[in-house]
Amino acid sequence: MNIPTIPTNTMRTSGAERVAEQVAFHRTELSVVLSLYGRMVAAGEWRDYGISCLREVAVFSVFRRTAEIPLYRIEKRPKLRAKQGMYAVVGANGQVLKRGHDLKSVLGVLERKLIRVVE
């Protein structure tokens, strides 16, 4: 007896199968984000991260300590591509710090935290 198996990334709706969509960061996007993350870890600002790939948004969360709420969330929302831009940096309080079409320019708001005055 053959029992049909359904891959974990598909959903069955009324006899028809369809692939469940999931937003994720591309390798080039992750390279840019992890480059910034590495520099912030070296500066002692950040200590941990988490990645969530959901149905409408992919989130890279940055933590100072593992048990805390994220300091920043770097979000990718493809549905906003034609409007405000699909990349956003969100602060711990939920405020959008910067939004745009280019990931490097959006991450610039976090790059400024690396620049410190040397006395």
| Boundaries of every domain in the chain | 21-113
Q: Which of 72, 66, 70, 3 is nearest to 33 (CA)?
A: 72
Helix axes 103-111, 27-42, angle to 10 degrees: 10
pLDDT at residue 27, as a whole number: 92
Return the structure tokens found at 77: 């929302």
pLDDT at residue 7, as a whole number: 45
pTM: predicted TM-score of the whole model, two decimal places? 0.75
**CA-to-CA separations, 15 to 5, 21, 23, 57, in angstroms, rounded:** 13, 18, 25, 28
Low-confidence ranges of the chain (pLDDT < 50): 1, 4-11, 117-118
pLDDT at residue 88, as a whole number: 93
CB 71 within 8 A of CB 64: yes
What is the length of the chain? 119
pLDDT at residue 32, as a whole number: 92
pLDDT at residue 30, as a whole number: 93
Return the structure tokens found at 56: 């409408």
pLDDT at residue 18, as a whole number: 56
Which phi and psi angles does 110 have, rounded to 5°?
A: -90, -25
